[in-house]
């Protein structure tokens, strides 16, 4: 196979005025190391990618850096019989787009143990409309099911509902027959969230109760919380006996300052969800579950497709919490 000498990618570099991300052309030999070379067809935009462009120390360790925690494409080089050249694959999480250069790039080199075969009937594009956001939403839904919740138990609230993880959680839960209350800060996302399957849409301010009362009236059978902070605190205090809250995010804050009463008097479970280091065997199962029982589609207005050169326009929006749905990046 004839490989080009150079490839295009977005790179965050250090400048006198701070980190700056731009489209560059680099020698293929400069890719970070890994046994498998992949031609990337699609990537996506996640909140963490926005942080990577700011050189956020919780996400990346050094510059220059290529962001992109998600990539889907075709294998071009692989020395193992586990995969074949030409096979369609997904890479999400692990260190991709963190210590390892990521998917906002025409090519990636990655360790073989990060690679997931694209599960039928997903296409490469669909896998990136899902991306880490859809994968994490699926983990949250599975956590609620593991806690014994089913559609008879009552409403599930999803915070940050118009964001990537949030809209997938709304869509998957509604597909499984749950009553879903979508909490959002965007009035304009109302109709989109109803189209995703939400039964009701509420203003996220309804989930901000700052008194020191250890428990509030029991309202939710469970929750998918993508924002943390005071909203997670309020949800936990408003969850019914035996309920479960799957927590994965921190766009509203990382502190959780509350008493143990919801846990010891109502038996509420707080299920932490961590996608990046999800063990490989479990990761394969989750992708299989997504493609078999959780596969839905988002309303067309919740998916924006951009080319690499247009992606930077969207980065400030995700950091400001302004994007509704998912941004998928067309690379090839
Ligand atoms: N644990 C994991 O493995 C994992 C995996 C993926 C993502 N995450 C985390 O999950 C969170 C969501 O990720 P994402 O990719 O879905 O991000 P996203 O697409 O940017 O969505 C985040 C949403 O949070 C809401 N929001 C933003 N700022 C807020 C604020 N100050 N107060 C309350 N709500 C706010 C907004 O939704 P509304 O306008 O609808 O309220 C926004 O659209 C992030 O913190 C991300 O780092 C964690």
Q: Is 157's C-beta closer than 6 angstroms to any atom of ligand 1?
A: no
Q: Is 164's C-beta closer than 6 angstroms to any atom of ligand 1?
A: yes
Domain that holds residue 179: 133-272
Residues 219-248 have pLDDT tens digits of: 999 999 999 999 999 999 999 999 999 999
| Assigned domain for 125 exists | no
| Assigned domain for 56 exists | yes
Q: Is 208's C-beta closer than 6 angstroms to any atom of ligand 1?
A: no
If asked whether residues 35 and 107 sit together in one domain, one would say yes
Residue 54 per-residue DSSP state: T
| Assigned domain for 153 exists | yes
| Assigned domain for 128 exists | no
Instruction: Write down the pLDDT at residue 1.
Output: 73
At 150, which CATH number?
3.40.50.720
CA angle 145-46-146, nearest 5°? 10
If asked whether residues 252 and 143 sit together in one domain, one would say yes
Quickly list H helices, the chain. 47-53, 124-146, 164-175, 190-196, 229-237, 261-265, 280-292, 308-319
- How far is residue 176 from each of residues 149, 159, 205, measured CA to CA in Å? 11, 18, 27
Encoded tokens for 21 = 């991300």
| Assigned domain for 126 exists | no
- How far is residue 73 from each of residues 93, 107, 127, measured CA to CA in Å? 15, 9, 10
Total-model pTM = 0.97
Q: Is 323's C-beta closer than 6 angstroms to any atom of ligand 1?
A: yes
| Assigned domain for 70 exists | yes
| Assigned domain for 277 exists | no
pLDDT band at 295 (very low <50, low <70, confident <90, very high): confident
Residues 26-82 have pLDDT tens digits of: 999 999 999 999 999 999 999 999 999 999 999 998 999 999 999 999 999 998 999
Instruction: Write down the pLDDT at residue 284.
Output: 98
If asked whether residues 95 and 160 sit together in one domain, one would say no
Residue where one domain finishes, among candidates 272, 292, 310: 272
- The total number of structural domains that make up the chain: 2
- How far is residue 125 from each of residues 42, 44, 194, 270, measured CA to CA in Å? 6, 10, 24, 33
If asked whether residues 114 and 145 sit together in one domain, one would say no
Cα 226 to ligand 1 centre (Å):
5
Encoded tokens for 29 = 């030999």
CA-proximal residue: ligand 1, atom 44 (nearest): 249
| Assigned domain for 307 exists | yes
Handedness of CA 288, 249, 40, 122 (dihedral sign): positive
At 317, which CATH number?
3.90.180.10
Angle subtended by helix axes 164-175 and 124-146, to nearest 10:
70
Q: Is 321's C-beta closer than 6 angstroms to any atom of ligand 1?
A: yes
């Amino acid at each position: 196979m004839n490989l080009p000498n150079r490839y295009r990618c977005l790179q965050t570099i250090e400048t006198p005025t701070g980190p700056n991300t731009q489209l560059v052309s680099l020698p293929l030999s400069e890719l970070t190391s890994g046994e498998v070379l992949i031609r990337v067809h699609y990537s996506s935009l996640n909140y963490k990618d926005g942080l990577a462009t700011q050189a956020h120390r919780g996400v990346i360790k050094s510059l220059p850096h290529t962001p992109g925690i998600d990539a889907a494409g075709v294998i071009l080089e692989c020395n193992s019989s586990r995969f074949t050249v030409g096979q369609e694959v997904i890479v999400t999480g692990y260190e991709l787009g963190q210590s390892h250069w990521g998917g906002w790039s025409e090519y990636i080199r990655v360790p073989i143990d990060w690679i997931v075969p694209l599960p039928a009937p997903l296409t490469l594009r669909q896998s990136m409309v899902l991306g880490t956001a859809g994968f994490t939403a699926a983990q949250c839904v599975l956590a609620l099911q593991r806690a014994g919740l089913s559609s008879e138990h009552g409403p599930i609230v999803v915070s940050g509902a118009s964001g990537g993880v949030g809209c997938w959680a709304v869509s998957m839960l509604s597909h499984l027959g749950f009553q879903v209350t979508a909490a959002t800060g965007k009035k304009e996302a109302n109709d989109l969230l109803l189209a995703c399957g939400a039964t009701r849409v509420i203003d996220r301010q309804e989930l901000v109760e700052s008194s020191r009362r250890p428990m509030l009236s029991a309202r939710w059978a469970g929750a998918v919380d993508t924002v943390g902070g005071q909203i997670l605190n309020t949800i936990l205090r408003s969850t019914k006996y035996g309920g479960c809250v799957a927590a994965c995010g921190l766009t509203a804050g990382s502190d959780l300052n509350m008493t143990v009463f919801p846990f010891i008097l109502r038996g509420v479970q707080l299920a932490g969800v961590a996608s990046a280091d999800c063990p490989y065997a479990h990761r394969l199962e989750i992708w299989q579950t997504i493609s078999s029982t959780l596969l839905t589609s988002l309303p067309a207005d919740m998916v924006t497709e951009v080319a690499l050169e247009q992606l930077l326009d969207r980065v400030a929006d995700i950091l400001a919490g302004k994007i509704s749905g998912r941004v998928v990046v067309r690379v090839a």
